[in-house]
Amino acid sequence: MPHEQPYYQQIANEEELFVQAWTHGLPALIKGPTGCGKTRFVQYMAHKLGLPLYTVACHDDLSATDLVGRHLIGADGTWWQDGPLTRAVREGGICYLDEVVEARQDTTVVLHPLADDRRELFIERTGETLQAPDSFMLVVSYNPGYQNLLKGMKPSTRQRFVAMRFDYPSAEQETQIVATEAGIDERLAGQLVRLGNAIRRLENHDLEEVASTRLLIFAARLIKAGVPVQQACMACLAEPLSDDLQTVHALMDVVNVHFGQD
């Protein structure tokens, strides 16, 4: 758990909703676009509640064993190593599964007993059943834009959670976030936010993602460090959003409208 409280600016009533879910032993599902603050929010709430946080970046090869634990062989023989989910249950902390839809559906089934009234974790390899303490909380997140028929939460899983929808902040809020996170003045932060919103409004371009708050902060940090604006925006906005050269050029045209050309 970080010693310094992570910076987070509340957008609506998400803090109160999270606290109430935790107080009543309910798991939370956070859905929203990439880079809108889902992970930072969980870090902030873990610090606010004084709880250890175990974060798992989900992927196609993530197995139930990766979450729960496995037997390892060492010089002194075989021993058991808890996975992050098991450690969070034992310690009464938060287990956060980032982009949970990336995990195989058979893996997420292990979450079901923890996400209902049982609040227990069965460790098949050891035969142990752990009862989650009151302070334990299961939190998952995903980007609805990535949802498809092959990758998506099963309804039987999704309906076990209190759901919160995140989006990019308002221009005023995002300006303050970028200014605070990057340590720049609000005038420059406002320019970057207006640029970000212009990119988000783009049509007729095959962008899988749009400019996230995270990318705006990255650009702001480079600009503060002395990197020319166009170079910073190319490296932090245009190139991360597309591999297509024409699309990158189109994005840089938008940058030039907002910042001019070197």
Q: Which residue has the higher pLDDT, 149 or 192?
A: 192
Q: 9 lies in a domain?
A: no
Q: 177 lies in a domain?
A: yes
**3-class DSSP state for residue 18?**
helix
Range of the domain at 60: 14-165
- Give CA–CA dist 109/98, Å, rounded: 16
Domain final residue pick, 165, 197, 221: 165
Contact 229, 259 (CB under 8 A): yes
3-state secondary structure 97-153: EECHHHCCHHHHHHHHHHCCCCCEEEECCCCEEEECCCCCEEEEEECHHHCCCCCCC
Residues 151 and 198 occupy one common structural domain: no
Question: Considering only CA atoms, which of 219, 199, 225 is closest in space to residue 210?
Answer: 199
Residues 150 and 90 occupy one common structural domain: yes
What pLDDT score was predicted for residue 156? 81
Residues 46 and 135 occupy one common structural domain: yes
Cβ within 8 Å of residue 244, ≥6 positions away: 206
**Position 262 pLDDT exceeds 60:** no
Evaluate if pTM is beyond 0.75. Answer: yes
Q: 1 lies in a domain?
A: no
Q: Which residue has the higher pLDDT, 22 or 101?
A: 22
Q: 10 Å Cβ neighbour count for 212?
A: 21
Task: Give per-residue pLDDT as tens, 82-118.
Answer: 999 999 999 999 999 999 988 887 788 899 999 999 9
Domain final residue pick, 121, 139, 165: 165
Percent of the residues in the chain that have a pLDDT greater than 70, as a whole number: 94
Residues 24 and 68 occupy one common structural domain: yes
Task: Give per-residue pLDDT as tens, 209-249.
Answer: 889 999 999 999 999 999 999 999 999 999 999 999 999 99
Residues 118 and 199 occupy one common structural domain: no
Domain count, the chain: 2
Q: 80 lies in a domain?
A: yes
**Position 2 pLDDT exceeds 70:** no
Q: 115 lies in a domain?
A: yes
**Position 151 pLDDT exceeds 70:** no
Helices (runs of H) and strands (runs of E) counted in the chain: 12, 9
Residues 234 and 182 occupy one common structural domain: yes
Domain final residue pick, 165, 195, 218: 165
Residues 208 and 152 occupy one common structural domain: no
Residues 60 and 152 occupy one common structural domain: yes
- Give CA–CA dist 211/193, Å, rounded: 9
